Amino acid sequence: MPKPTPRPRRIDVAFVQRPRVPEIAIAVCGQEGGPFRYHAVSEDRTWSGQLDAPNKETAIFDAIAVIRDDAPELGPVRFLVSLQAKSPLWRYTDEIAALVPGVSVGWPGLSGLPLMEAAKAGLTAQPAEVPPQSTDMSPLWVATDGSVRRKFSGFGWLASNGQYGLHGYRHSKTLHGTKVVLISELRAINDAVRNLQRPLTVMSDSKLAIEMIKRWMDGDIVLPQGYTTERPGGKPAALVSAQRSIHSQREWLTPVWVKGHQGEPLNEGADALARLAQRRAANPADLGTPEYHRRADGLADGFSKQFNLLREVGRPPLAA
């Protein structure tokens, strides 16, 4: 019998690695008949809110729809939910995938446990009852800003009451054209308006963004040059939704231009939040989720307090 010899390794065979699908963990709580509160966490963003739903499964589905509308740039995404094996939701995962293209729903598993725990912790940190948005309609100042470096964008906003938002993402010249800085500025403004839901004086150091927001308020259908409106799965482009939102809330908005980097606290805070979001999007492993949120909290708290202290001593915001 001939002595076995090892075969040479084939050099024409390669293993293809599938791109990693982003994950978002959702935690919900409430009683049958509703309402339900939810808190969702991704690697670089959080969502919270209250939904009228008959049961937990419907609340999760509605929360998924809200998040998809809020972040259409996500593309395919896997939502992680922690429900009992007998939950009816597991019988309808195929239907969910068909109704919401690009979405899959699954158990968190070991790799998803940190996100799931963060979602549950965020839900616990919320007040037992979420007050209706109309309880406090006092006017606010809010500063917005965008940040772009290489292939990654970020935006941030900071309001005079300390509320804030930030988000980072990879931009595409095919979808967004070359005006990526303007797009990040416009998305920051829309995110602030959508979340604050009250009369706002919106400050931006981008004259182009302020001019376009004013045109949207007047009903003009205009977008940055090169920005396309078609998205996979028929999802609305982010700025198309923003355009409609700004126009519908035009009576509440006063957009003003401020000169950047002149010591205006809210403007400086929004700038810092936008840069933090951009950095996180470009290098997720460089900044862990707890540290990312800790830094964002600290920036928002410090700059908003500085803004209000200056107003107490009679210094008006540096709005033109």
pLDDT mean over 291-299: 91
Full strand arrangement of the beta sheet holding 103-106: 46-51, 36-41, 23-30, 77-81, 103-106
**Residue with the two structure tokens 């809010």:** 142
pLDDT at 7: 64
Q: Averaged over 114-134, what is the pLDDT?
A: 67
* Contact partners, residue 9, CB within 8 Å, separation at least 6: none
Report pLDDT digits (tens) over 18-38: 567 889 999 998 876 667 888
For 132, the 3-state DSSP assignment is coil
Taking residues 221-229, report their average pLDDT: 87
- Round to whole Å and give the CA distance between 151 and 147: 11
What letter would DSSP give residue 108?
-
- Amino acid present at 299: L
Q: Tell me what pLDDT residue 128 has.
A: 44
Round to whole Å and give the CA distance between 125 and 184: 30
CATH of domain 140-313: 3.30.420.10
Report the relative pairing of strands 253-257 and 164-170 from DSSP bridges: unpaired
Task: Judge if 23-124 and 140-313 fold alike in CATH terms.
Answer: yes
CA distance linking residue 25 with residue 207, whole number of Å: 38
pLDDT of residue 315: 76
Q: How many CB atoms lie within 10 A of CB 71?
A: 20
CA distances for 277 relative to 11, 210, 296, angstroms = 41, 22, 9
What pLDDT is attached to residue 214?
Answer: 96
CATH architecture of 23-124: 2-Layer Sandwich (3.30)
Distance of CA 97 to the CA centre of its chain: 22
Each residue's pLDDT tens digit, 237-265: 788 888 888 998 999 999 999 998 888 99
> 92: which DSSP letter?
G
Q: If you average pLDDT over residues 219-234, what whole number do you get?
A: 80
Distance (Å, whole) CA 277 – CA 246: 23
pLDDT digit string, tens, across residues 45-75: 888 887 777 788 888 888 888 887 777 777 7
Angle at 227 between CA 225 and CA 228, to 5 degrees: 135
Contact 154, 62 (CB under 8 A): no
CA distance 162 to 86: 42
Please check whether residue 299 is in contact with residue 292, taking contact to mean a CB–CB distance below 8 angstroms: no
Amino acid symbol at 100: V
Give percent of the chain with pLDDT exceeding 70: 85
Over residues 89-112, the pLDDT tens digits come to 888 777 777 777 788 898 888 888
Question: For the chain, what is the mean pLDDT?
Answer: 83
Q: Residues 283-290: what's their mean pLDDT?
A: 80
CA distances from 6 to 2, 11, 125 (A): 12, 15, 60
**Which residue ranges make up each domain of the chain?**
23-124, 140-313
What's the pLDDT score for residue 10? 56
- pLDDT category at 129 given cuts 50, 70, 90 is very low
CA 225 to chain centre: 23
Given a contact cutoff of 8 angstroms between Cβ atoms, the answer to whether 97 and 104 are in contact is yes
